[in-house]
């Protein structure tokens, strides 16, 4: 079994497929902001996938549109409410939750 480790807490939980990272975090008491309630209309749930990005679903046009507004936008950035693991991981996944204080709010 492979795990997702969330930084900076360094909390590791089993990597579940087909469930959003926001839902996985919520179910495991890991706080990720979600100002719009998870409907892809803000950037508060931005995360950085440091390792294992290839196991995730593709970015939709709407997600990309929102991501480009984030100060954390990069090839590793995703919105936690829109990304999910869709293929079987062959290694552990590493996700960083950027500091809340720096997040852009809409």
- Which stretches of the chain bind ligand FES, using CB under 6 A? 34-36, 38, 40-42, 44-45, 66, 79, 81
Q: Cβ 90 to ligand FES, closest distance in Å? A: 27
Nearest to 28 by CA among 59, 3, 54, 64: 3
Q: Which candidate, 92, 52, 28, places its Cα nearest to that of 78?
A: 52
CB of 55 to ligand FES, least distance (A): 19
Q: Which is nearer to ligand FES, 91 or 106 (CB)?
A: 106
| Least distance to ligand FES, CB of residue 103, Å | 11
Identity of the residue, 91 or 100, whose beta carbon is nearer to ligand FES in the bound complex: 100
Q: Reduced to 3 states, what is the DSSP secondary structure of residue 44?
A: coil
Count of Cβ atoms closer than 10 Å to residue 92 Cβ: 14
């Amino acid at each position: 079994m492979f795990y997702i480790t969330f930084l900076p807490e360094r909390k590791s939980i089993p990597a579940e497929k087909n469930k959003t990272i926001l839902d996985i975090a919520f179910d495991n008491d890991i706080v990720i902001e979600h100002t719009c309630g998870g409907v892809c209309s803000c950037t508060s749930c931005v995360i950085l996938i440091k390792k294992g990005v290839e196991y995730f679903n593709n970015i939709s046009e709407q997600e990309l549109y929102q991501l480009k507004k984030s100060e954390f936008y990069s090839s590793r950035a995703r919105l936690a409410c829109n990304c999910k693991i869709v293929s079987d991981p062959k290694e552990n996944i590493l996700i960083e939750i950027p500091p809340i204080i720096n997040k852009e709010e809409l």
